[in-house]
Structure 1
Amino acid sequence: MHFADVQQGTLYLVATPIGNLGDITLRALHTLRNVDVIFCEDTRVSNHLLKVYGIQASLHAYHDHSNASERHHILKRLKEGQSVALLSDAGTPLISDPGYKVVVDCYEENIPVTLVPGACALIHGLVISGLPPDQFYFGGFLPLKDKDRREKLRMLSCLPASLIFYETGPKLLKTLLDLNEFFEDRLLAVTRELTKKFEAVHRGKVSELLTHYTQKGPPKGELVLVLQGQTGSQEHPPLNRDLCKKMLEKMSVKDTADILSHLFGQSKNSIYQDLLKIKNED
């Protein structure tokens, strides 16, 4: 099988397995064998993957705590004509993982960026959840602060799309308590051990799963939660006045209503009337 040559001065975002090492793609292996240098979230994790496939490479760490000087080091190598691969510990880079700022810096410097696609936990969880995959919203990890987390869930409660979140076992019960307040009777799929031998999907109403995990204890490891979106008619949640005022500084009431109506899946007329009230407050 022929693969295109690795291009010099190009940043390659390479997806890696999320559990089953057999899920890495042939193109990913070709890229990792031929780039000049690899930056990864945890050198120990990536070194294990490379050893399994007999790849010897120069590994350097780039993670959440990396600073601007480390990003500049990556750009310096790219400007010198080196080919660079960027990996996360598992899955597709940038999806709730480091790398976004590196990509932005590359575009500002006219450095080519490409993705070598592969496993992605949010897509895997959605596809096996048994919930509608035609429209979905990915919320990553919910905010740690109670007030911020509840505000986000409140705003998402009217979205007519499946909602996807990442969570960890130890924090599941706390998250389920908040979900139960806003989504009590909606279906939820708790997916875990994705691609591994003991991959599992636990489906039920939010209230039912809260009871189950309260009695049995939360599962271990990282989870993908897929929650049923809003169905049927429902009033939109109270609008965030500060956010609406900022939007109205840049857009007309009509355009703002169009955006919020699409976001909430609700009548544009009702939102339009609320926006008029907010606009006229001053």
Structure 2
Amino acid sequence: MKLYITGTPLGNLDDMTYRAIETLRNVDVILCEDTRTTRKLTTHFDIDTPLRAYHDFNKGGVEDGIIEEMQDGRTFALVTDAGMPVISDPGFELVSKMQDAGLKYSIIPSGSAFTLALVASGIPSYEFTYFGFLPKANAKRRKKIQEIMSYEQTSVLYESPHKIMDTLTAIVNIDGGRMVSISREITKKFEQHVRRPADEMLQLLGHEIPLKGEFVVVIEGAQAEAIEFDIPVTEHVEALIKEGMTPKQAIKKVAEVRDLKKQDVYDEFHETKK
């Protein structure tokens, strides 16, 4: 193997696996987001393998060189600051280039914050969508939250301490009764999981739930709406658009709840717009 995609603890160093320790000891180079953060981990486990920065700001300029080194026989481990690499972190680009070059890689697993938060949420997990971090721009952020709130399956996202109030406020403005779970400091001393209706959760933020640490938000899916089938299809689509859905989302939703073909709903809706 030329690359080991190696999971590390989210916070509690006791979660480090024997396999991960041995992997980091035996490779030639450890690729990491922040060498200072990873140095604390390697020092704790007496790992003296050289560290090399690999992050969003330099990945485009170093990947080809890493591939060349692999082809010359060097082995690498890829880690993130905490948890499983590649998830909401750089790395898929390197994996893609390795596939193109016919190079082998292996995965040394650990937990990811979003999967652990989902387990702890008490919200259905049979179907869910993971969104990572929301867009930073306010307009795009609001649009993404509206989209998320329209889904019937559970949604999971990451949020920062200084944005969590804004995100919960946006959720409440759409559906204050929607069940939401917040997890923070997962596996650490002050680990916390709270499940409440969105409007109640908003009141807890900054009080019972400190605005510290990274947050994982799990949102219950939207309930299937009771449909008045005497309403024309076009009016039904227009009503969902007024609630914040895009035309594409509204057409898909109407087709699902009315058990119609999406193309038929699309054609009928756009025919009235001519």
TM-score strictly above 0.5 = yes
Kept in 2, the 8 Å contact 1:38–1:57? The answer is: yes
Distance 1:276-1:218 versus aligned 2 partners, 3 A rule: farther
- How far, CA to CA, are the matches of 1:34 and 1:47 in structure 2? 16
Q: TM-score, normalised by structure 1?
A: 0.83
Kept in 2, the 8 Å contact 1:136–1:163? The answer is: yes
Amino acid at match of 1:87: V
In structure 1, what is the equivalent of residue 233 of structure 2?
none
Classify the secondary structure of the residue corresponding to 1:196: coil
- How far, CA to CA, are the matches of 2:136 and 2:184 in structure 1? 21
Shift of 1:44: 0.9
Classify the secondary structure of the residue corresponding to 1:188: strand
Query: Where do 5+ consecutive residues of structure 1 fail to align?
Result: 1-6, 245-256
- How far, CA to CA, are the matches of 2:261 and 2:122 in structure 1? 33
- Does 2:118 align with 1:96? no
- Residue-by-residue CA offset, 1:222-278 (whole Å, 9 max, x unaligned): 01111111223267744645x79xxxxxxxxxxxx8xx469x964451743432146
Seq. identity, %: 32
Kept in 2, the 8 Å contact 1:185–1:206? The answer is: yes
In structure 1, what is the equivalent of residue 225 of structure 2?
233
Shift of 1:215: 6.3
- How far, CA to CA, are the matches of 1:141 and 1:190 in structure 2? 14
Shift of 1:37: 1.0
Q: Which of 168, 171, 174 lines up with 1:179 in the alignment?
A: 171
Shift of 1:216: 6.6
Distance 1:39-1:161 versus aligned 2 partners, 3 A rule: same
Compute the RMSD of aligned alpha carbons: 2.5
Q: How does 1:17-36 map to 2 (within 5 A)?
A: 17-36=9-28
Amino acid at match of 2:260: N
Q: Which of 39, 63, 66 lines up with 1:74 in the alignment?
A: 66
Q: How does 1:155-170 map to 2 (within 5 A)?
A: 155-170=147-162
- Does 2:254 align with 1:272? no
- How far, CA to CA, are the matches of 1:221 and 1:118 in structure 2? 20
- How far, CA to CA, are the matches of 1:60 and 1:206 in structure 2? 42
Q: Which of 184, 189, 193 lines up with 1:197 in the alignment?
A: 189
After the TM superposition, which of the residue ranges 229-238 and 167-176 deviates more from structure 2?
Answer: 229-238
Shift of 1:154: 1.8
Distance 1:23-1:267 versus aligned 2 partners, 3 A rule: farther
Shift of 1:117: 0.7
- How far, CA to CA, are the matches of 1:106 and 1:266 in structure 2? 43
Kept in 2, the 8 Å contact 1:14–1:86? The answer is: yes
Shift of 1:136: 1.0
In structure 1, what is the equivalent of residue 44 of structure 2?
52
- Residue-by-residue CA offset, 1:29-79 (whole Å, 9 max, x unaligned): 121111111110011111110111111101100011114221112111111
Kept in 2, the 8 Å contact 1:142–1:166? The answer is: yes
In structure 2, what is the equivalent of residue 154 of structure 1?
146
Classify the secondary structure of the residue corresponding to 2:203: helix
- Residue-by-residue CA offset, 1:177-220 (whole Å, 9 max, x unaligned): 11112232111111111001211112211111112326678521
- How far, CA to CA, are the matches of 2:253 and 2:100 in structure 1? 34
- How far, CA to CA, are the matches of 2:246 and 2:73 in structure 1? 48
Kept in 2, the 8 Å contact 1:92–1:117? The answer is: yes
Amino acid at match of 1:20: N
- Residue-by-residue CA offset, 1:78-137 (whole Å, 9 max, x unaligned): 111211111110011111111121111111212123211112100111101111121111
Amino acid at match of 1:207: D
Q: TM-score, normalised by structure 2?
A: 0.85
Classify the secondary structure of the residue corresponding to 1:170: coil
- How far, CA to CA, are the matches of 2:79 and 2:258 in structure 1? 43
Shift of 1:145: 1.4
Classify the secondary structure of the residue corresponding to 2:11: coil
